Chain A
Amino acid sequence: MTDSTISLTGIVKNFGRVRALDGVDLQVGPGQIYGLIGPNGAGKSTMIRILLAILRSDAGHATIFGQDVWKQAVDIHRRVSYVPGEVNLWPNLTGGEVIDLFVRLKKSGDSRYREELVSRFDFDPTKKCGTYSKGNRQKVALIAAFSTDADVYILDEPTSGLDPLMEMVFRECVREVAAQGKTVLLSSHILSEVEHLCDRVSIIRQGRIVDSGTLAEMRHLTRNQVLVEATGALDGLAGLDGVHDLALVPGGAEFHLDNDHTASVMAYLAQAGATRLVSTPPTLEELFMSHYQG
């Protein structure tokens, strides 16, 4: 997978005796909007910091644009925009000054677009950063990130502290860069955000990627909740492959069904005289809960 825009293989990172990342593999293709989700302390921010050469991995290999993230950091950063998980700014500089500073560090800003973003995010750049609320500090980072030219956007919980209106503006911004074929890596706790924006998702837990794929694929690999009513007896379900958590109720049954055993179970139900069948795919929340809780 040498054509991945972002690639991590076997990344390990220890903090003293704590193993924060334990062999992470991740490939993000060009133009993908890639979601990264996982419980607190799973290692999302650590992984992102390694990609940005803020932390140094203990083992493994990470590249962006095929270049080593540590050795060619400056080259890579010319084409990467980053919104940190925790935005800390200089209390004595104004928001506008900080935005300009970051755009200048990047040497590739578009000042007209900056003004547009400032008004879209409804942001007052004339105040000292020491007086901004959390959401406003977040806006500084977002405006600075989106008003510079980049090919890759790395966003670590970019909307924490934003109100719902601003969350919508943020989603528009992501869709715009996506439409230009840019790559986005988005870590988030807001599942609806991930569901709306991302093509692919990885779930990270205790320093390991426990599941990856498109949302459809991930759903596919899991079980549907099935509710059935039938005229005949359903006792035989207990003996079938792919049936879990079976609960027989008068005139029917409830159970979880592995997707790849659907055909054989349906055949059994048809023969048992099923009169009503409701099958619900897991909600995203359920999907994540099953992964988060292991």
Chain B
Amino acid sequence: MHNWALLLRVMLRRDRVSLPVWILSVAAFCVVFVPALPQVAGTPDEVAVLAAMMDSPAMVAMCGMLYGDAHTLGIMYTQLMIVWSALLVAVMNILIVVRHTRGDEDEGRLEVVRALPTGAAAHLGAVTVLMVGVDAVLTVLMGVAMPSFGVDSIDWAGSWVYAAALGICGLFFGAVTLVIVQLVHSARGAIGAGLVVLGGLYVLRAYGDVSSETAAWISPLGLIQRTFPFYADRWWPLGILALVCVILIVAAFVLNSMRDMGQGLVPRLGGLRAHAGRTLYGEWGLSWRLVRGTVVAWGVAVFLLSAGYGSVMGEMEGFVQSSPIYQAMMGVGADTVDVVGPVVSMLLLMMAILGAVPVLTTAYKIRAEEGRGRMEGVLAAPVSRVRLYGGYAGLIVLIAVAMQVLAAAGFWMVASAVMTDPVPVRVVVIVAFNFGAAVLFFGGLGLFLTGCAPRLTLVGWAYLIISFLIVYMGGLLDLPRWVARLTPFGLVQRWPSEPFSWWPWIGLVAGGVVLAVVGALGWRRRDVI
């Protein structure tokens, strides 16, 4: 463990911009809606309505359970935000750890460091300290920020439990990633595996919160809610999770000492192909090959998660029948479509936002290839820039359609099996089709940024996350409708709660096409960077 402090300083220096941006924006995401709470749930009536809605199986599956004997704002905030905040903190930890381990190894930066008089474990030690430090800073920021808004029932003791729960949960996923990077061969593979673990544990929690307490405890995302912030303020579940983190970190050190740099412990699959297969043909074949892994993995994840959401529809039916407040909200005597339609719409909206992720990564593929210095060789071959770009545009349309189809299919197949009065397939298809326009719009936006502002690709991600926040919270917190319309997902009508309209749909698709065309013009004129 020589010189880990020196290595840590090098890392901090390299990330002196990106780390503060990460930490501040994640912290902002986690606390930003605290001051908004009293406005939407100020009166006891408002609280009762909100709580009734949030106690529905669909909401419990999506974000977590409602606990305690009174519906205080603190408890409702925890249910609404803690799981999604934990997901974001987890993604941050995964990306930071991969960047400083596998990412460095892939680009040969670590060899330079290893040549310095540093021990073999020093680098891993520095990354561990960095990770713990990031989560600690995040915890302190949130712990101080949350109670300082002075919202009723969001007190200091509860806030510290809440913040520490997020910090330790982030640390858990960072530690899992530290183990993963010892096993796999590339940065991309490590990120993918990290996200698979995250997604799996999210689904396990959703299942657990709806129907199995044991399953919920096994998933850290379920465990952290069982600290009951602002109610029981229990610390001991976090102690268990911290212990798991320590075990994982020790495992990472042991595995690290067993492997060579640049290699993973799990044997590399494939290889041995002396010739390219038939599909690796031309620039389009290459493009597909480059996005194939991500798209297939994401497609499977969307299908499974959507099926998971579909599985709560049976409980949802029973809940609606036994909840007078909910019935009143939806309109009494309404048919299946009226009652569960809005739920279908809410769940498939989440799936559409997820579906926009592979669309955006595909739109950014040209940029990513440039960044890794691989576009130069391809463009020096007789490859037209416009054809290459057009190929990606075509892929984006296919991926967007595929994601919506997978989401709708996964949802409907399971939902129709568990419901006594199944939601008609027509409803699911129209909802997915409706949100598809927003997914396509993100494809156009991504292509535009690639072509015209290749250094601002982060803008697309930021817009997607903000869209998610606004749409997710806006639906529950009664944000004015026009606020939601600032995002593509809010711009389309919320059918079936709102009447269907073609105009926003056509407008979004047309906007996406225009952005893509402008992007093509930019891409045709600019330097490869």
**Residues of chain A whose beta carbon lies under 8 Å from any beta carbon of chain B:** 49, 52-56, 73-75, 77-78, 80, 82, 84, 86-94, 96-98, 100-102, 104-107, 125-128, 130-131, 141
Alpha-carbon gap, A100 to B286, bound state (A) = 11
Find the B residue at minimum CB distance from A124: B274
B268 at interface, CB cutoff 8 A = yes
B357-402 contacts to A (CB < 8 Å): 372-385
- Of the candidates B274, B275, B377, the one having the most CB atoms from chain A within 10 angstroms of its own CB is B377
The stretch among B70-78, B277-285, B481-489 that forms the contact with chain A is: B277-285
Given contacts A52-B380, A86-B373, 5 further A-B pairs with CB under 8 A are A52-B376, A52-B379, A56-B526, A94-B273, A107-B382
Alpha-carbon gap, A86 to B373, bound state (A) = 8
Alpha-carbon gap, A102 to B280, bound state (A) = 10
The minimal Cβ–Cβ distance linking A29 to chain B, given in whole angstroms, is: 22
Interface string of B42-70 (1 = CB under 8 A from A): 00000000000000000000000000000
Q: Which of B281, B289, B372, B527 contacts A56 (CB 8 A)?
A: B527
When A91-B106, A94-B273, A96-B274 are in contact, do A54 and B380 touch as well, CB less than 8 Å?
yes
B275 touches A55 (CB 8 A): no
Q: Which of B186, B275, B280, B380 contacts A82 (CB 8 A)?
A: B380
Alpha-carbon gap, A49 to B289, bound state (A) = 26
When A97-B276, A104-B276 are in contact, do A55 and B527 touch as well, CB less than 8 Å?
yes
B381-436 contacts to A (CB < 8 Å): 381-385
Which 8 pairs across A and B sit closest by C-beta, in order of nearness?
A100-B276, A88-B373, A105-B381, A96-B274, A82-B380, A77-B382, A97-B276, A78-B382
Alpha-carbon gap, A15 to B372, bound state (A) = 19
When A56-B525, A130-B106 are in contact, do A102 and B381 touch as well, CB less than 8 Å?
yes
Q: Which of A84, A91, A96, A127 contacts B377 (CB 8 A)?
A: A84
Q: Which of B268, B274, B384, B525 contacts A128 (CB 8 A)?
A: B268
- B380 to chain A: which residues have CB within 8 Å? 52, 54, 77, 80, 82, 84
A126 touches B377 (CB 8 A): no
The minimal Cβ–Cβ distance linking B516 to chain A, given in whole angstroms, is: 21
Alpha-carbon gap, A75 to B384, bound state (A) = 9
The minimal Cβ–Cβ distance linking A20 to chain B, given in whole angstroms, is: 11
In this complex, how many residues of chain B approach chain A with their Cβ under 8 Å: the count is 40
B117 at interface, CB cutoff 8 A = no
B270 at interface, CB cutoff 8 A = yes
A104 touches B282 (CB 8 A): yes
The minimal Cβ–Cβ distance linking A196 to chain B, given in whole angstroms, is: 26
- B383 to chain A: which residues have CB within 8 Å? 74, 77, 105
Alpha-carbon gap, A88 to B282, bound state (A) = 18
B205 at interface, CB cutoff 8 A = no
| 14 A-B residue pairs with CB within 8 Å | A52-B380, A53-B379, A54-B376, A55-B528, A56-B525, A73-B379, A77-B382, A82-B380, A84-B376, A84-B380, A90-B290, A91-B106, A94-B272, A104-B280
- B100 to chain A: which residues have CB within 8 Å? none
Alpha-carbon gap, A101 to B285, bound state (A) = 9
- B526 to chain A: which residues have CB within 8 Å? 56
The minimal Cβ–Cβ distance linking A73 to chain B, given in whole angstroms, is: 8
**Residues of chain B whose beta carbon lies under 8 Å from any beta carbon of chain A:** 106, 185-186, 262, 268, 270-277, 280-283, 285-286, 289-290, 293, 372-385, 525-528
The minimal Cβ–Cβ distance linking A154 to chain B, given in whole angstroms, is: 8
B376 touches A74 (CB 8 A): no
B381 touches A106 (CB 8 A): yes
The minimal Cβ–Cβ distance linking A156 to chain B, given in whole angstroms, is: 10
- B376 to chain A: which residues have CB within 8 Å? 49, 52, 54, 84, 88
A91 touches B186 (CB 8 A): yes
- A89 to chain B: which residues have CB within 8 Å? 374
Alpha-carbon gap, A49 to B186, bound state (A) = 29
The minimal Cβ–Cβ distance linking B361 to chain A, given in whole angstroms, is: 16
Alpha-carbon gap, A75 to B383, bound state (A) = 9
The minimal Cβ–Cβ distance linking B32 to chain A, given in whole angstroms, is: 36
Find the A residue at minimum CB distance from B386: A74
- B286 to chain A: which residues have CB within 8 Å? 101, 105
Find the A residue at minimum CB distance from B283: A105
- B274 to chain A: which residues have CB within 8 Å? 94, 96, 125-126
- A131 to chain B: which residues have CB within 8 Å? 262, 268
- A90 to chain B: which residues have CB within 8 Å? 290, 374
B382 touches A106 (CB 8 A): yes
When A77-B382, A107-B382, A126-B273 are in contact, do A141 and B377 touch as well, CB less than 8 Å?
yes
When A86-B373, A88-B373 are in contact, do A100 and B186 touch as well, CB less than 8 Å?
no
Alpha-carbon gap, A93 to B270, bound state (A) = 9
- B285 to chain A: which residues have CB within 8 Å? 101
A74 touches B373 (CB 8 A): no
Alpha-carbon gap, A54 to B380, bound state (A) = 7
- B186 to chain A: which residues have CB within 8 Å? 91-92, 130
- A86 to chain B: which residues have CB within 8 Å? 373
A54 touches B373 (CB 8 A): no
- B275 to chain A: which residues have CB within 8 Å? 96-97, 100, 125
Alpha-carbon gap, A93 to B381, bound state (A) = 18
- A97 to chain B: which residues have CB within 8 Å? 273, 275-277, 280
- Of the candidates B376, B525, B527, the one having the most CB atoms from chain A within 10 angstroms of its own CB is B376
Alpha-carbon gap, A89 to B376, bound state (A) = 11
- B375 to chain A: which residues have CB within 8 Å? 54
- A49 to chain B: which residues have CB within 8 Å? 376, 528
- A84 to chain B: which residues have CB within 8 Å? 376-377, 380
- A77 to chain B: which residues have CB within 8 Å? 380-383
Q: Which of B185, B282, B382, B527 contacts A130 (CB 8 A)?
A: B185
- B525 to chain A: which residues have CB within 8 Å? 56
The minimal Cβ–Cβ distance linking B108 to chain A, given in whole angstroms, is: 9
Alpha-carbon gap, A37 to B375, bound state (A) = 25
Find the A residue at minimum CB distance from B381: A105
B382 touches A128 (CB 8 A): no
- Of the candidates B185, B274, B383, B526, the one having the most CB atoms from chain A within 10 angstroms of its own CB is B274
B271 touches A74 (CB 8 A): no
- B381 to chain A: which residues have CB within 8 Å? 77, 102, 105-106
When A130-B185, A130-B186 are in contact, do A74 and B384 touch as well, CB less than 8 Å?
yes
B185 touches A105 (CB 8 A): no
Q: Which of B262, B280, B527 contacts A101 (CB 8 A)?
A: B280
Find the B residue at minimum CB distance from A140: B377
Alpha-carbon gap, A98 to B527, bound state (A) = 24
B378 touches A128 (CB 8 A): no
Find the B residue at minimum CB distance from A128: B271
The minimal Cβ–Cβ distance linking A53 to chain B, given in whole angstroms, is: 7
Q: Which of B271, B372, B384 contacts A94 (CB 8 A)?
A: B271
The minimal Cβ–Cβ distance linking B166 to chain A, given in whole angstroms, is: 34
- A74 to chain B: which residues have CB within 8 Å? 382-384
Find the B residue at minimum CB distance from A134: B108
- A80 to chain B: which residues have CB within 8 Å? 380
Alpha-carbon gap, A84 to B376, bound state (A) = 8
A105 touches B374 (CB 8 A): no
- A127 to chain B: which residues have CB within 8 Å? 271
- Of the candidates B277, B285, B381, the one having the most CB atoms from chain A within 10 angstroms of its own CB is B381
Find the A residue at minimum CB distance from B108: A134
Alpha-carbon gap, A74 to B270, bound state (A) = 34
- B185 to chain A: which residues have CB within 8 Å? 91, 130
- A141 to chain B: which residues have CB within 8 Å? 377
- B384 to chain A: which residues have CB within 8 Å? 73-74
A82 touches B377 (CB 8 A): yes
